[in-house]
Amino acid sequence: MSAIATFLLAIVSAMLIDNVVLSRFYGICSFIGVGNRVKSAYSMGLAVTFVIILASLVCWPIYYYVLVPAGIPFMDTLVYILVIASLVQVVGLFIKKKSPALYKSLGIYLPLITTNCAVLGVAQSNTDSGYTFAQSMSNAIGTSLGFLLIIVVFACIRERLESSNTPKAFKGVPLALVTAALMAMAFMGLQGIGA
Amino acid sequence: MESKDIRRSQHKESFVSGIIQENPLFVSVLGTCPALAITTTVEAAFGMGLLFTFVLVCSNIIISALRKLIPEEIETPAYIVVIAAFVTITKMLTEAFIPALYSSLGVFLSLLVVNCIVLGRAEAFANKNTVFDSLLDGLGNGIGYTLAIVVIALFREVLGAGTLTIGAIFTFVPKSTLYILKDAAGTYDYSMSLLTNPAGGFIVFGLILAVIYAVKNHKATIVKAKARAAAFAAAAKKAEPVVPAKEAVLATPAKEVK
């Protein structure tokens, strides 16, 4: 298989088959907190996608060209979270300067992204599993697109659920979790495609 | 004397509130990511709870000790650095002493850094209270979280795997397996393996939350009904002298007063 086909297959598998939200529970907090309006879910998803890709782009070289030569690979988590926090700040400032309209729609989600498990989780698992740079980039792109897909689909479902007549005890978070369970079961059907 | 009593009740309050009343997972619905990911076995959940409590207590102590030194503008980054330092220490200690726990928790141990509860307690409690109170608060919330994830794991392991195993991760305990929904020989097996899948995590957590909400709704209706009955009785009492004695037998005073 050519290198590009492998790259694309890795993206598809990280996005659909091994979806981060439904199989590894990354970003569940923001998923439940923000995900009941399609528009805000879309903005949040885009911002997370951008930060995940950027963070993986920066964290992988830092691990292999700074931390390992310096003999302190155990400092990875601490360095990654600092890199992510400062990246989020820089991205926020950049967007604010270049496109105030975009900042208006993304702005309130930016601080939330620092504490989104998906960002740190991807950066951490890239180096923990010993991926090459290309592998870690395909992991980052697939994971973040998977997050975007799920958070938008989920917001669509929740918008409908809000106006329907559901048992009182299930209103809100319990129903969101059961919905996620049904989605996870649906995505389980995709397992085995890549193999 | 009196101020001592007040202080003691305050200590008790900061310890107890996190366990049931303000349980971080079941009431505030925070820290859901590890609660769903590592609850396939009771032992892993218990181990996660212990490490979580350790990180929360340590970071609460340091942050409340430094609360007057950290400027407000860089609060969050400073807290994250403190928490990340303790998570790194915890990771190294776990890898050295309980390697089975380290490998079963995997990346979720690192993800304690961005756990909403740890950061939330730092911002909501530790930066306003004394070191001792923060210690108690961390301990209370840690115990509450541990209890919550062990409950989820109990359902998932017993119903999903059909067994309950002790000693697979904490190897200093002799390994023993309790067969509940199936037997060792494999003559019958009533376990639902779906519950050990990610989808099962969502289902169990969602149903537990629904039960909690239902109990809360029920309690609220009881309180409301009691309040209404009390108002009713008070109104009836007030109305009594106004109504002449002959008519009092026929009339329903509460309705008139309303």
Residue B44 reports pLDDT greater than 90: yes
pLDDT for position B252: 52
Tell me the shortest Cα–Cα distance from B34 to chain A, in angstroms.
8
Q: Is residue B218 part of a domain?
A: yes
Q: Is A130 left (phi over 0), alpha (psi -120 to 50) or beta?
A: left
Q: Is B77 on the interface with A (CB under 8 A)?
A: yes
Q: Is B74 on the interface with A (CB under 8 A)?
A: no
Residue B49 reports pLDDT greater than 60: yes
Tell me the shortest Cα–Cα distance from B79 to chain A, in angstroms.
11
Name the band, by pLDDT with cuts 50, 70 and 90, for residue A194: low
Q: Is residue B33 part of a domain?
A: yes
Only one residue has tokens 């009836």, namely B236
Provide, as residue numbers in chain B, all residues whose Cβ is less than 8 Å from the Cβ of A25: 32-34, 36-37, 198, 201
Q: Is B97 exposed, middle or buried (0-12, 13-18, 19+ CB in 10 A)?
A: exposed
Where is B78: in which H helix or E strand? helix B75-97
- What does the pLDDT look like over A143-185, one tens digit per residue? 999 999 988 888 888 888 888 888 888 888 888 899 889 988 8
Q: Is B30 on the interface with A (CB under 8 A)?
A: yes
CA distances from B65 to B16, B57, B81, B188 (A): 22, 12, 15, 57
Name the band, by pLDDT with cuts 50, 70 and 90, for residue A111: confident
pLDDT for position B9: 83
Tell me the shortest Cα–Cα distance from B213 to chain A, in angstroms.
5
A24–B37 C-beta distance less than 8 A: yes
pLDDT for position B146: 95
Name the band, by pLDDT with cuts 50, 70 and 90, for residue B92: very high
In the numeric block, which tokens belong to residue B98?
A: 């309980």
Average pLDDT, whole number, for chain A? Answer: 85
Q: Is residue B108 part of a domain?
A: yes
Q: Is B198 on the interface with A (CB under 8 A)?
A: yes
Mean pLDDT calculated for residue range B205-224:
92
Higher-scoring residue by pLDDT: B13, A69: A69
In this structure, the answer to whether residues B101 and B147 fall within a common structural domain is yes
pLDDT for position B256: 47
Provide, as residue numbers in chain A, all residues whose Cβ is less than 8 Å from the Cβ of B213: 168-172, 174
DSSP states of B228-250: HHHHHHHHHHHHTTTS-HHHHTT
Q: Is residue B200 part of a domain?
A: no
Higher-scoring residue by pLDDT: B40, B76: B40
Looking at chain A, which residue has its C-alpha nearest residue B120? A115
CB pairs under 8 A between A and B: 126
In this structure, the answer to whether residues B36 and B146 fall within a common structural domain is yes
Average pLDDT, whole number, for chain B? Answer: 86
Name the band, by pLDDT with cuts 50, 70 and 90, for residue B188: confident
DSSP states of chain A: --HHHHHHHHHHIIIIIT-HHHHS-TTHHHHHHHTTSHHHHHHHHHHHHHHHHHHHHHHHHHIIIIIHHHT-GGGHHHHHHHHHHHHHHHHHHHHHHH-HHHHHHHGGGHHHHHT-HHHHHHHHHHHHTT--HHHHHHHHHHHHHHHHHHHHHHHHHHHHHHHS---GGGTTHHHHHHHHHHHHHHHHTTTTS--
Name the band, by pLDDT with cuts 50, 70 and 90, for residue B154: very high
In the numeric block, which tokens belong to residue B26?
A: 């079941």
When mean pLDDT is compared over A152-156, B67-71, B72-76, B151-155, the highest value belongs to: B151-155
In this structure, the answer to whether residues B185 and B251 fall within a common structural domain is no
Q: Which of B193, B221, B244 is the C-terminal boundary of a domain?
A: B193
In this structure, the answer to whether residues B210 and B184 fall within a common structural domain is no
Q: Which of B193, B224, B247 is the C-terminal boundary of a domain?
A: B193
Per the structure, the complete domain to which residue B83 belongs is given by 2-193
State percent of chain B over pLDDT 90: 42
Q: Which of B166, B193, B220 is the C-terminal boundary of a domain?
A: B193
Q: Which of these ranges, A101-105, B7-11, B87-91, has the smallest mean pLDDT?
A: A101-105
Mean pLDDT calculated for residue range B251-258:
49
Tell me the shortest Cα–Cα distance from A161 to chain B, in angstroms.
15
Residue B247 reports pLDDT greater than 80: no
A115–B107 C-beta distance less than 8 A: no
In this structure, the answer to whether residues B7 and B38 fall within a common structural domain is yes
Minimum-distance CB partner of A173 among B33, B209, B214? B209
Number of domains in chain B: 2
pLDDT for position B181: 85
A180–B111 C-beta distance less than 8 A: no
Mean pLDDT calculated for residue range A111-135:
87
Q: Is B230 on the interface with A (CB under 8 A)?
A: no
- What does the pLDDT look like over A29-43, one tens digit per residue? 777 766 567 887 888
pLDDT for position B250: 53
Tell me the shortest Cα–Cα distance from A39 to chain B, in angstroms.
24
In this structure, the answer to whether residues B89 and B122 fall within a common structural domain is yes
Provide, as residue numbers in chain B, all residues whose Cβ is less than 8 Å from the Cβ of A26: 33
pLDDT for position A137: 92
pLDDT for position B244: 54
When mean pLDDT is compared over A150-159, B148-157, B185-194, the highest value belongs to: B148-157
Mean pLDDT calculated for residue range A81-85:
90
A178–B206 C-beta distance less than 8 A: yes
pLDDT for position A47: 83
B201–A82 C-beta distance less than 8 A: no
In this structure, the answer to whether residues B141 and B229 fall within a common structural domain is no
Q: Is residue B137 part of a domain?
A: yes
Name the band, by pLDDT with cuts 50, 70 and 90, for residue B257: very low
Name the band, by pLDDT with cuts 50, 70 and 90, for residue B1: low
In this structure, the answer to whether residues B186 and B85 fall within a common structural domain is yes
In this structure, the answer to whether residues B169 and B90 fall within a common structural domain is yes
In this structure, the answer to whether residues B181 and B126 fall within a common structural domain is yes
| Alpha-carbon A97 to chain mean position | 25
A170–B110 C-beta distance less than 8 A: no
In this structure, the answer to whether residues B44 and B152 fall within a common structural domain is yes
B206–A176 C-beta distance less than 8 A: yes
A120–B207 C-beta distance less than 8 A: no
Looking at chain B, which residue has its C-alpha nearest residue A76? B88
- What does the pLDDT look like over B129-144, one tens digit per residue? 899 999 999 999 999 9
In this structure, the answer to whether residues B11 and B93 fall within a common structural domain is yes
